[in-house]
Amino acid sequence: QLQLQESGPGLVKPSETLSLTCTVSGGSISSRPYYWAWIRQPPGKGPEWIGTVYFTGSTYFKSSLRSRFTISVDTSKNQFALKLSSVTAADTATYYCARQVGGYVPDYFDSWGQGTLVTVSS
Protein backbone atom coordinates (compact mmCIF):
# COMPACT_ATOMS: atom_id res chain seq x y z
CA GLN A 1 0.00 0.00 0.00
CA LEU A 2 1.37 3.38 -1.02
CA GLN A 3 2.29 5.72 1.82
CA LEU A 4 3.57 9.28 1.77
CA GLN A 5 5.14 10.98 4.76
CA GLU A 6 6.06 14.65 5.05
CA SER A 7 8.96 15.74 7.24
CA GLY A 8 10.40 19.12 8.14
CA PRO A 9 10.32 21.87 10.75
CA GLY A 10 7.03 22.89 12.29
CA LEU A 11 8.17 26.45 12.98
CA VAL A 12 9.95 28.81 10.60
CA LYS A 13 10.91 32.43 11.15
CA PRO A 14 9.73 35.15 8.75
CA SER A 15 12.04 35.74 5.76
CA GLU A 16 13.68 32.31 6.17
CA THR A 17 13.45 29.34 3.80
CA LEU A 18 11.10 26.44 4.49
CA SER A 19 12.25 22.98 3.45
CA LEU A 20 10.01 19.92 3.46
CA THR A 21 10.61 16.38 2.27
CA CYS A 22 8.10 13.72 1.26
CA THR A 23 9.17 10.09 1.53
CA VAL A 24 7.24 7.63 -0.62
CA SER A 25 6.99 3.99 0.44
CA GLY A 26 5.10 1.03 -0.96
CA GLY A 27 5.69 2.15 -4.52
CA SER A 28 8.29 3.69 -6.80
CA ILE A 29 8.42 7.42 -7.37
CA SER A 30 9.44 6.57 -10.96
CA SER A 31 6.17 4.74 -11.71
CA ARG A 32 4.10 5.96 -14.64
CA PRO A 33 1.66 7.67 -15.03
CA TYR A 34 2.24 9.27 -11.67
CA TYR A 35 3.43 12.72 -10.74
CA TRP A 36 4.15 14.04 -7.26
CA ALA A 37 2.57 17.18 -5.85
CA TRP A 38 2.68 19.60 -2.96
CA ILE A 39 -0.57 21.06 -1.69
CA ARG A 40 -1.10 23.38 1.25
CA GLN A 41 -4.12 24.26 3.34
CA PRO A 42 -4.19 27.38 5.53
CA PRO A 43 -6.09 26.96 8.80
CA GLY A 44 -9.82 26.95 8.16
CA LYS A 45 -9.45 27.21 4.37
CA GLY A 46 -9.51 24.92 1.38
CA PRO A 47 -6.54 23.18 -0.22
CA GLU A 48 -4.27 25.08 -2.58
CA TRP A 49 -2.17 23.25 -5.16
CA ILE A 50 1.43 24.53 -5.12
CA GLY A 51 3.25 22.53 -7.78
CA THR A 52 4.15 19.15 -9.21
CA VAL A 53 7.27 17.21 -10.13
CA TYR A 54 7.77 14.21 -12.43
CA PHE A 55 10.43 11.60 -11.70
CA THR A 56 12.52 13.09 -14.52
CA GLY A 57 12.78 16.31 -12.54
CA SER A 58 10.45 18.40 -14.67
CA THR A 59 8.21 20.68 -12.63
CA TYR A 60 5.26 23.00 -12.97
CA PHE A 61 3.71 25.38 -10.48
CA LYS A 62 0.68 27.48 -9.73
CA SER A 63 1.58 30.68 -11.54
CA SER A 64 1.06 33.02 -8.57
CA LEU A 65 3.43 30.94 -6.41
CA ARG A 66 6.09 30.03 -8.95
CA SER A 67 8.63 32.66 -7.97
CA ARG A 68 9.18 31.47 -4.40
CA PHE A 69 8.78 27.69 -4.64
CA THR A 70 11.21 24.99 -5.73
CA ILE A 71 10.35 21.31 -6.05
CA SER A 72 12.93 18.59 -6.61
CA VAL A 73 12.98 14.80 -6.76
CA ASP A 74 15.53 12.20 -5.58
CA THR A 75 14.66 8.87 -7.17
CA SER A 76 17.48 7.05 -5.33
CA LYS A 77 15.78 7.87 -2.02
CA ASN A 78 12.21 7.71 -3.34
CA GLN A 79 11.70 11.26 -2.08
CA PHE A 80 10.65 14.64 -3.37
CA ALA A 81 11.12 17.98 -1.71
CA LEU A 82 9.67 21.47 -1.44
CA LYS A 83 11.49 24.68 -0.72
CA LEU A 84 9.79 28.02 -0.09
CA SER A 85 11.88 31.13 0.23
CA SER A 86 11.16 34.36 2.12
CA VAL A 87 8.29 32.96 4.14
CA THR A 88 5.69 35.22 5.73
CA ALA A 89 2.80 34.59 8.10
CA ALA A 90 0.59 34.02 5.03
CA ASP A 91 2.53 30.81 4.37
CA THR A 92 1.34 29.28 7.64
CA ALA A 93 -0.53 26.15 6.60
CA THR A 94 -0.66 22.39 6.69
CA TYR A 95 1.51 21.17 3.84
CA TYR A 96 0.59 17.89 2.14
CA CYS A 97 2.45 15.80 -0.37
CA ALA A 98 0.32 13.74 -2.71
CA ARG A 99 0.48 11.36 -5.64
CA GLN A 100 -0.96 12.93 -8.75
CA VAL A 101 -2.53 10.67 -11.36
CA GLY A 102 -1.64 11.91 -14.81
CA GLY A 103 -3.25 11.50 -18.18
CA TYR A 104 -6.53 13.19 -17.44
CA VAL A 105 -7.85 16.71 -17.93
CA PRO A 106 -7.08 17.60 -15.28
CA ASP A 107 -5.01 15.24 -13.16
CA TYR A 108 -6.13 14.34 -9.67
CA PHE A 109 -4.71 13.23 -6.32
CA ASP A 110 -5.37 9.66 -5.21
CA SER A 111 -3.04 9.32 -2.25
CA TRP A 112 -2.03 11.95 0.32
CA GLY A 113 0.41 12.20 3.19
CA GLN A 114 -0.94 12.97 6.65
CA GLY A 115 0.21 16.58 6.35
CA THR A 116 2.58 18.69 8.40
CA LEU A 117 1.62 21.99 10.01
CA VAL A 118 4.12 24.75 9.33
CA THR A 119 3.82 27.92 11.37
CA VAL A 120 5.67 31.08 10.36
CA SER A 121 6.42 33.14 13.43
CA SER A 122 9.31 34.88 15.09
Partner 1 sequence: SYELTQPPSVSVSPGQTARITCSGDALPKKYSYWYQQKPGQAPLLVIYKDKERPSGIPERFSGSSSGTIVTLTISGVQAEDEADYYCQSADFNNTSVVFGGGTKLSVL
Confirm or reject binding of residue 119 to partner 1 (CB under 8 A): no
Restricting to residues 66-95, name those near partner 1 by CB under 8 A: none
In this complex, which beta carbon is closest to partner 1, that of residue 67 or of residue 122? 67
Nearest Cα to 95, choosing from 122, 121, 69?
Answer: 69
CB 68 within 8 A of CB 85: yes
Rounded distance between C-alpha atoms, residue 10 and residue 86, angstroms: 16
Confirm or reject binding of residue 106 to partner 1 (CB under 8 A): yes
Q: Identify the bridge partners of residue 36 per DSSP, sorted by sequence position.
A: 53, 99
CB 79 within 8 A of CB 86: no
Q: How far is the CB of 82 from partner 1 (least distance, A)?
A: 15
Q: How far is the CB of 106 from partner 1 (least distance, A)?
A: 3
Residues that bind partner 1 (CB under 8 A): 37, 45-49, 60, 62-64, 96, 101, 104-110, 112-115
